[in-house]
Structure 1
Amino acid sequence: MEFSRTAIPDVVLCKPTVFYDKRGYFFESFKKEAFENFLGYQVKFCQDNESKSVKGVLRGLHYQLPPFAQSKLVRVIYGKVLDVAVDIRKNSSTFGHYVAVELSDENKHQLFIPKGFAHGYKVLSNEAIFSYKVDNYYHKKSEAGILYNDSDLNINWQVIDDNLCISDKDKNQPVFKEAKVFETIY
């Protein structure tokens, strides 16, 4: 597994070593020791989640507030998405900046998004199966979000067309200036 820091150094791109042969392929999708050695700290994942979406679905931008904040390790099992992480740590030098990475079943890349980031993705293929590990359980009263098309964030979601499919909840999230943010950096 190859790890590299993105434009926001706490967000990490993980590229597995894939072994192909006539039977197909094999790769390690997660190796705790190597991952934590790169990060320099422990991450205790406690749950794996999976969702299936069709082309044009945009989910996000979501996060949970402390003490129920979550780190996520996300990947695409089938299809292709544009994955976005927004820094919402008030004291961070990259506060309000975002990272966007294409994740697919072809490139098999993963993105580690630490606590203190809002997260979302847009499906670019006809269908996508999205998988992610989290290090804290879902807590409804701690869930929060930011409007996906907030002009201050100016996220390039690639093509936003008339076929965009987004939940009413996500359409009605607060803008970045009004959103609850993290006062400290984890």
Structure 2
Amino acid sequence: MNEDSVLYRVESPLAWITLNRPEKKNALAGAMREELLERVQEASRDSTIRCLIVTGAGDAFCSGGDLGVMAEMKQKGADFEELGLWLDAGGKLVSALAVLPKPSVACVNGAAAGAGCNLALACDFRIASGGASLGETFVRVGLHPDWGGTFLLPRLVGSAKALELFATGEMVLAEEALRIGLVNRLVPADR
């Protein structure tokens, strides 16, 4: 994994966090979770920053957890404690975004799936490009939603729609995401 898998840039009053594994659709792996948490905490402490923007490099926001890394962990005999620590960092990140004393904006520029969807949901605002899609795809790989999805999604779209999205793993296209309240704004794909 590239050591620059999470980029951080400040142009006061804005700060940008960019997931930077475009060859893997910005799938979360290794220390990315901890790095994301550190960057959110850094933005929180920096009084010159008035807004945090989270986005992905390339044509995806974040495809969720890197399933290849998860398979390697299983193959190496990772125990529940080890897997729990791996997931716990996601919960801490969602909590840090929730208490961030300045607005956070997810700029969803393609697929936001699984934990990537929940990273977007944890931000105060979500702006999606015309080609974006968001989905709670955990069921497709036999997993339960993590990274705060079961808390965040019903608050945005209502419990019935949230249950449908969790149960089907359906990816919601940008226009529909706007209609149901999953995103706040749409912008042209080239923006």
User: Normalization by structure 1: what TM-score?
Assistant: 0.34
Larger RCO (alpha carbons 8 Å, 6+ apart): 1
User: Normalization by structure 2: what TM-score?
Assistant: 0.33
Instruction: Give the structure with the higher percent strand.
Output: 1
